[in-house]
Structure 1
Amino acid sequence: MKPNRNDLLNALNEQQLEQIAEYAVPMDAHTLDHIKERFWQKVQHEQDIELPPTLTLPKKRNNWIKYGLAAALISCVAVTGAAASGVAWVDELFQPLFNRSYVVSEYGTFVTSSDINNGIEMRTLAAINDGETAYVLFTLTDLDGNRLSERMDLYDNYWLNTGTSFSVKQIAYNPETKTAAFSLLSHGGSKLTGKTISFKLRSFFGQKSEAKHSALTLLPYDYVSSHPIAEGRFTSEVNGGGGQDFQEAFPDLSQVHVLSSNNDEVEFQAMKWAVVTNIGFLEGKLHVQLQNNKPENHFKSLYFADEHNNVIWNHNYSLSFEKQSVSHSEEYIFNDINNIEQLRGLTLQAEYFEYGDPIEGTWKNTFKLASSLETMTVPHQEVELRDDQLRLDKITLSPLNVTLQLSGKPLSSMDELPKLQLKLKNGNIIDLNTTNSRQHEQGVTTIYSFADIIEPTEIEAILIDGNRVPFQT
């Protein structure tokens, strides 16, 4: 449905203009005319609406445009579903973009795609793409009740029709409008550029508890003492897991050595939806097998603690089995526990999350992702890497990630990649994780994505394996 022109123009009220004034040039009549012109230019481009005959588009891009578009963003959001929340909420919602308006004005796509199911509206608001990573802002609003919160979990039930390796972060919640805001990062390279994107969500949890802890009612030392010989089996029922270098540790999930179930049901003290079915040693490593009878709840970690609740051993790997009826089994492996004496005096503790009932439904937003951001090359002298068989050839930077071009020996493990950090001008140091890496004839291209948008002018230096590479915009 096309928005009413008068409503759109009148959206630039005094309260909003005061908010805009923090970022914009002085608000004289001439500037306001330019803001309205730029706003209509964006609306015409995104929604195919004819311009009012009294407005003409600027022929030349000036510095005020990036500020004017920030104002247009506020007014656009105000008339597409967030108006009731007020300017303060809009500012909070768009904080990742609002102070970096040049990124949106030059390359961002403002989106008005929405879908309603089961009384929940999903609305995609804006997207940015740099050719390697897409950054999408979207909201969920409860139109019928109070099922959302500041602690939600979309539980990996979201995906795009293109791209790989998705991650979602909740960035805000407004209890007055019952609206939660999220950012989504998707990696897929140039396959995303200029494409029509379908963003889908299928069921999620509106309430998630704080992390809880509970100890097993039986001491692990006593259990293993009464079951001195653990029986194992090879199974193809493992469908995934976690832990550092998991794929290297378990390259073939069709034959995984796990504990046989003893049909025991050792309970935890405060958590009643899971039980321990076996504890024992396989191939010199301690395994703990659990049965989870409420799979929507999940474990964050399993660990051994002393009498003062100090963590002594954390699990190294977790295995998840195919779901059986309403429950499923999980197995946790402790590489560093090799004999029973290491368990003496320790308790087995679980850290876990509990959820309410899932909100069922299917939501889909469709939009076209704009052309990609221009990345910049960071000049650098020769950098000494911890692996002296690797050579750093090129560093490129965008507001979404840092990309390194490496040459030398082929990599056999992700651990061989350089450690990357950003030193910001405010003194903060941000550790970056590798989100995508690919080998080719010229060497290795590895991408370190930011958790949020970072303006290049905020960066003082890039630290590669501790070596400082100064950065100047």
Structure 2
Amino acid sequence: MKKEDLYNGISGIHPEYLEEADSYKTRKPIRWRKWVAVVACICVCCATVVPVFAAANNKIAYELLYTISSSIAQKLKPINNSCEDNGIKMEVIAANIEDNKATILVSMQDIKGNRLDETVDLFDSYSIHTPYDQSGGCSLVEYDDETATATFMLEIEQMNQVLIPGDKITFSVREILSGKKHSNSELEKIDLKNLSVINKFKINPNIRGGSGTETDSLEQDYIQLMEPNEESATVLAEGVTLTGYGIVDNKLHVQVRFADILVTDNHGEVYLKNQNGEVVHCQYNVAFWDNSETDSYEEYVFNLPIDELKSYEIWGEFWTCNAGSIKGDWQVTFPLTD
């Protein structure tokens, strides 16, 4: 059987079976990564806020794209292939192929309610299937409040083989996040002038990942992470709780618990700010699961002389969506054309 024939058969498989296979990847521990590292085979969904325009149809997407990149807008060819589930219509508006890259415009419209807003993203729950190995990404182009429509641009790059007219692409989505909240404020609960030495540590933490400048050299079995202090925990934002802070091996550790991350995508960062307003990021952070693998504890480690910490402020920036996601079964398969 040819590879293309096999793919054509796969594109007809009901999406729940594809997503069931994908779900095994979701719960695997995240490997160590540096702040600046980008893994090409992981699709990252970014919800970039752009100006909102009023429109009654998809012309708004083209108009906005012309302001961003006229060369991309001019090359897109109409597709207008759609599906609907849970009161939300997904439509592939247009697509273009050029060498090993494909650009696709997709919209999600709430036709039965008012569940989408300008914070909408696809929660990394989407899949892009092509006949060949590929990497891809999805970004929010705009959200139109009058029509309750979010428009996304997909960019796919083939790894070893060029897409050609007639090749089929299957795009599927199973969850949509909306109604996200953002906060960025000083963590006044933490007194950097009076820090205690930590002597209680988590035994055999279920580490799910980490990031920073030194994670490559860290030995997972020897990482010292604080035992969460739930009795004196402080709520920093809905779904975000401060569960400990202090000095470990002459470094400042700050621990935060993010609630139900597989449903809410709650996440954030803790950082320092000096008297000039300059930001100092943590040296590295390590995340580990709670016992039910529902909540995630994230511990931020700062490598500054202890006597210098008193001249800093400590801040937290968090993104939360505690209402959870909109679930559905959206899938469209379409061929690329000249």
The TM-score, its normalising length taken from structure 2, stands at 0.68
Partner of residue 185, structure 2: 213
Matched, 1:260 2:231: no
Matched, 1:189 2:156: no
Q: Deviations over 1:270-304 (max 9, x none)?
A: 52532233334556543322222353253332112
Shift in Å, 1:261: 0.7
Partner of residue 268, structure 2: 300
Partner of residue 21, structure 1: none
Q: Deviations over 1:380-423 (max 9, x none)?
A: xxxxxxxxxxxxxxxxxxxxxxxxxxxxxxxxxxxxxxxxxxxx
Amino acid at match of 2:88: I
In structure 2, relative to structure 1, the CA distance for the partners of 1:362 and 1:281 (3 Å cut) is farther
Map 1:151-166; keep pairs closer than 5 Å: 151-162=119-130, 163-166=133-136
In structure 2, relative to structure 1, the CA distance for the partners of 1:198 and 1:177 (3 Å cut) is same
Map 1:335-414; keep pairs closer than 5 Å: 336-337=303-304, 339-355=305-321, 356-370=323-337
Matched, 1:273 2:242: no
Two-structure CA RMSD over aligned residues (Å):
3.4
In structure 2, relative to structure 1, the CA distance for the partners of 1:229 and 1:266 (3 Å cut) is closer
In structure 2, relative to structure 1, the CA distance for the partners of 1:101 and 1:272 (3 Å cut) is closer
Amino acid at match of 1:204: I
How many residues were matched structurally? 276
Partner of residue 289, structure 1: 255
- Determine if contact 1:218/1:266 at 8 Å carries over to the other structure: no
Amino acid at match of 2:299: E
Partner of residue 56, structure 2: 85
In structure 2, relative to structure 1, the CA distance for the partners of 1:93 and 1:359 (3 Å cut) is farther
* Aligned mate of 2:173, from 198, 201, 205: 201
* Aligned mate of 1:135, from 95, 99, 103: 103
Q: Deviations over 1:220-256 (max 9, x none)?
A: 443x32xx2445568572223334686x456x7x646
Q: Deviations over 1:315-349 (max 9, x none)?
A: 24333323543422112222x32x42232254432
SS of the aligned residue for 2:63 comes to helix
Shift in Å, 1:357: 3.4
* Aligned mate of 1:100, from 71, 94, 99: 71
- Equivalents in 2 of 1:300, 1:192: separation in Å? 38
Gap runs ≥5 in structure 2? 1-54
Partner of residue 331, structure 1: 299
- Determine if contact 2:243/2:256 at 8 Å carries over to the other structure: yes
In structure 2, relative to structure 1, the CA distance for the partners of 1:114 and 1:102 (3 Å cut) is closer
- Determine if contact 2:87/2:111 at 8 Å carries over to the other structure: yes
Partner of residue 112, structure 1: 80
- Equivalents in 2 of 1:294, 1:219: separation in Å? 28
- Equivalents in 1 of 2:139, 2:210: separation in Å? 21
Higher relative contact order (CA 8 A, sep 6+): 2
Higher helix share: 1
Work out the percentage of aligned pairs sharing the same amino acid.
Answer: 25
Matched, 1:169 2:139: yes
The TM-score, its normalising length taken from structure 1, stands at 0.50
- Equivalents in 2 of 1:166, 1:101: separation in Å? 16
Partner of residue 238, structure 1: 207
Amino acid at match of 1:196: K
Amino acid at match of 1:317: Y
Partner of residue 123, structure 1: 91
- Determine if contact 2:93/2:106 at 8 Å carries over to the other structure: yes
- Equivalents in 2 of 1:370, 1:87: separation in Å? 20
SS of the aligned residue for 1:259 comes to coil
Shift in Å, 1:189: 2.5
Shift in Å, 1:100: 2.6
- Equivalents in 1 of 2:298, 2:90: separation in Å? 33
In structure 2, relative to structure 1, the CA distance for the partners of 1:206 and 1:347 (3 Å cut) is same
